[in-house]
């Protein structure tokens, strides 16, 4: 799995900081404005749906990266 597989994911970090082998990432829903759990509808598609609002306005990143980018407390 690489960054190019993530089709609905907005990038905010440089790719070379993204380590897909250490897949401890968090998902931030821009509609719910918080870090959420996600569903992946189809294992072949890297499309993540927010489990709260059921939409795919998801940003992926490390927890620390998301926190600093979105000012999450």
Kindly report the number of other CB atoms within 10 A of residue 23's CB atom.
Answer: 7
x/- string (CB under 5 A) for Zn ion, residues 23-42?
A: ------x-xx----------
Asked if residues 62 and 34 have their Cβ atoms less than 8 Å apart, the reply is no
Q: How far is the CB of 73 from Zn ion (least distance, A)?
A: 18
Taking contact as CB under 5 A, which single stretch among the options 4-12, 14-22, 44-52, 62-70 is the one that binds Zn ion? 44-52
Considering only CA atoms, which of 3, 59, 64, 9 is closest in space to residue 29?
59
Taking contact as CB under 5 A, which single stretch among the options 4-12, 39-47, 50-58, 65-73 is the one that binds Zn ion? 50-58
Q: How far is the CB of 70 from Zn ion (least distance, A)?
A: 13
Give residue for tokens 């000012």.
71
């Amino acid at each position: 799995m690489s960054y190019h597989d993530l089709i609905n994911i907005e990038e905010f970090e440089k790719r070379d900081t993204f380590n897909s082998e250490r897949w401890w990432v968090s998902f931030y829903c821009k509609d719910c404005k918080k870090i959420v759990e996600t569903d992946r509808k189809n294992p072949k598609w890297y499309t993540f749906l927010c489990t709260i609002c059921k939409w795919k306005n998801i940003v992926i990143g490390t927890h620390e990266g998301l926190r600093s980018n979105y000012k999450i407390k």
